[in-house]
Chains A and B, each alone.
Chain A
Amino acid sequence: MTSTTLSTSSRSDAVSSAQSIPWHLAAVVFAATSVLVGLIWDISWHMSIGRDTFWTPAHLAIYTGGAVAGLASGYEVLRRSFFAPNESKDNGVTVWRIFRGPLGGWLCIWGAVAMLTSAPFDDWWHNAYGLDVQILSPPHSVLAVGFLAILMGATVLAVARQSQEGSTSSSWVVAYTSGLVLTIASVMATEYQDRVMMHMGIFYEVASFVFPLFLLTAAGAVKLRWPATIAAGVYTAIMCAQLWILPLFEASPLLGPIRQPVTHMVPLNFPLLVLLPAFLIDVVLHRTVARGAWYRAFFAGATFVISFTVLQWFFAYFLMSPASDNWLFHSRNLAYMLPSDTYEAKGLFVNESVSSLIIAFGVSIVLATIAARFGAARGRWLSAVQR
């Protein structure tokens, strides 16, 4: 947005770029992974065991991620601000004219503070309104924003590295962190992703906003040929890994009422089929390079909606059938507290009228276009990040 001002800027120092991934970036990428793994583990814990304490492994993974991201970034900011006299003063973003650090580091610090803030808020919330049985609540949203900030911080650090160094390895780091962000966004929307909703308009409306937004961001930020496909691949790999690993561990509910038999950790759902739609987005973007931003956004968004709808709509029949009740798809991943008279327990679709679905399809294309346009703008800005 301010690239034209470079000519009036003054160069004060030159900075050499290291060839290996700096420890700070490695630490933050580890932290982002830990936060995401902890979050998925924690949701599974609440579906399988129910009762938790401060010290559950899932919580520890989340806290470790927050602590590592915050402390590593805090250290880097202090180092650059006060203990690196030989480095350029203009190699980071400046805060309050004293502190200097990479933008991604600042995001991680902010994310850690948000996580810290959510702790007393969530504790009070539980005391006031009881233990929450929902993913999205005001204190959880503060925590979620903290997660997102840390994952976004990791991405920003990686893109800065990619801009400075231009190596393929740094681009792969950006692609990986973009996949992490895509995954956490999808997990946040879990309540709208159950298979019983796969023949409902809201399912496609939510997916058509979330996925194009982050896939197009990845497409803009990652300097690889198939960025959206790789980000979707990371999402698919993580969701498959949790699907195949978590049920290997025995678990039984420690809270009642128990309405579903649970003997092992209950995983989250099989990943949505976004791999092919993401590949098609990459193809569309390759073939429309010379076109305007809204034109590209419309075609990318519409391509996603059409391909995703066709794939997921028919795949849903399979997920509802007994054939998918196996180690590969785990379609009977019912939480212990789920009443037996629910659509999920009965394995029934919540159906809508054809007219509602047609309207939802149109709304999905509009949402996907807006999300794609916004995502592309974010991706372009990210790709320009230097610090």
Chain B
Amino acid sequence: MIGIVTKTLREQKLKSLHGVVRTCGLFCARITVMFMAWIALAAHVGTEQVVLEGMAGGYPVRVVIRPPGIVPAQVPIIVRVLHGSPTRVTVRATQFSVGLKGAPPAEAASVVPGEIGTYAHDLWIMTSGSYAIYVGVEGAAGNGTLLVPMVSAATHTLGMPKAIGGVLIVLGSLLAIGVFTLVGAATREATLPIGYTPDGARRKSARVAVGVSTAVVALMLLGGAKWWQSAESDYRRGLYKPLEVTTSVRMQDSDRLLKLVVTDPQWQRGRTTPITPDHGKLMHLFLIRANDAGVIAHLHPLRSELTTFETLLPAIPAGKYFLFADVLHESGFQRTLVDTVDVPVAPAIVENDNGSAASAKGMAQPKTFSAFADSDDAWRVVAPVAVGTASSFDGGSLTLSVDGQISVDRDVTLQVAVRNSDGIAAPLEPYMGMGGHMMVMREDGGVFVHLHPGGTASMTAQDVLARRERGDTGTSFSDAIKNEASMRMLATSGELAQTKSGTLTFPFAFPTKGKYRVFVQVKKNGVVQTASFALTVPK
């Protein structure tokens, strides 16, 4: 009997220990996911900054928007006029739900002293959601407006600086002491006729009153603290949270099937606006190997159910991967889903180091993948090179350079030059409607941005917001795919010229210091080429 009890206790202890270990493991995994989730902001990951170039009338401009992650708040808008001297630059914020009809008037931006051609103005943004910032430029070259999509989201709260905390403690203590003192003085002397001095009874009453008032003030402070906590909790509940997703990879015959399920109640209950294709795809999913960023896959899963997206994996090595999945809502709200996923070893696959479904041509891909993969899927095992160094690929090379000193929040131009093996500039073909795609990731996965030659804002979002203003909201889903796929994206003649000359420029601002990996994808001779560059952003 004793032996049975002892065994049972031991089993319970073992179970308990297993439980603790399992719980710790789950906890660690959850912490990792929570960290990833926390850093995922609305449109991108780790930054809400928007950098977009375009034409406003006769003036090429670069617009930089730096949302502070607090709503409502003033959002700095910086307009750099790249060529020409306008007479007036204005900015105007319109929320998606009300459009220009419900927008306050345009406000004039001021010239930034010491920065030629740069104008700045802070716009009040009062609500969360999808916004269009209209940048108006007037001058001899022609008046015009550039629409810049922006996502407004509260992402964090501020701690209280010590200095302000100290001032408030001093003033608050003074107020509390003032209450006790005044209650005592009032009880002791207020009703005493002038010329009389208070007796012992009055003094005693005053002491009692001070005691009572102390209790009342303590209760009020307690109530105030609860109120404050409640306001803090309300605000935190309203913070933008990345949608919860669950990702898994399972074997399906000789293929690895990646399944991403959006488990977030907001999505499942239909509380988010529907998603719409961006560059002709409902989802742009990026897998980047977590330990060294030495592998990247740019895939386009299909939606099998309302909440489920699936894709077969190409011949990428096994390992732990960061997963970033870009989707665009019909409101123009860009969103990046974030997760990590373990990719298992694929049986009987000879891993090649440069893949593209479009160019697979019988290379060692699983048969099913070759048959069903999206023609724009692309992946590569690629070692990074330094900025300014050519990254070679079969039949040519790609070089990345920067037009100035890189530092945190400083907008720069990342220049890409593609050449053939003979060193001559290589004309590029549109890749999903764009001259090229760039993925910028901080090596710890804390920052991820998918951008294009125009900048970090989605051109589809730009289009959605412009159509919304025209009242054109009747475009069907299939139309959206068709339109996107029809390469409407090569919007500016400037970009078209760039692709012909094998050069591309990407305006961007690194949001934090750290080690970054910049991946560039271009299409040349029908093959998507991927290059990787390593750079460090100083403080």
Contact = CB atoms under 8 A, between A and B. Distances in A.
Of B104, B181, B198, most buried by chain A (CB within 10 Å of CB) is B104
Interface in B138-185: 154, 157-158, 160-161, 164, 167-168, 171-172, 174-175, 178-179, 181-182, 185
A110 B182 contact: yes
A64 interface: no
A86 interface: no
Contacts of A259: 98, 102
A93 B201 contact: no
A191 interface: no
Contacts of A113: 171, 174-175, 178
Contact of A386 (B104, B105, B193, B228): B193
A8 B185 contact: no
A12 B195 contact: yes
A11 B198 CA distance: 10
A130 B72 contact: yes
Contact of B192 (A9, A14, A114, A127): A9
B127 A257 contact: yes
B42 to A, nearest CB: 16
Nearest to A107: B182
Interface residues of B, number: 58
B71 interface: yes
Contact of B190 (A9, A128, A255, A385): A385
B205 interface: yes
Contacts, number: 178
Given A8-B201, A131-B124, A15 B168 contact: no
A256 interface: yes
Contacts of B126: 50, 131, 133, 255-257, 337
A50 B185 CA distance: 43
Given A106-B182, A117-B168, A256-B126, A8 B199 contact: yes
Contacts of B157: 128-129
B102 A257 contact: yes
Contacts of B98: 256-259
A259 B172 CA distance: 39
A133 B158 contact: no
Nearest to A137: B231
Given A2-B191, A129-B157, A386-B191, A255 B186 contact: no
Interface in B207-259: 224, 227-228, 231-232, 235
A131 B73 CA distance: 6
Interface of A: 1-6, 8-15, 50-51, 88, 90-96, 103, 106-107, 109-110, 113-114, 116-117, 120-121, 124, 127-131, 133, 137-138, 141, 156, 164, 252-259, 337, 381, 384-387
The 10 closest A-B CB pairs, nearest first, are A9-B196, A117-B171, A93-B185, A257-B98, A128-B158, A384-B191, A131-B72, A93-B189, A130-B72, A8-B199
Interface of B: 70-73, 93-95, 97-98, 101-105, 124, 126-127, 154, 157-158, 160-161, 164, 167-168, 171-172, 174-175, 178-179, 181-182, 185-202, 205, 224, 227-228, 231-232, 235
5 contacts: A9-B192, A95-B182, A128-B157, A256-B104, A387-B189
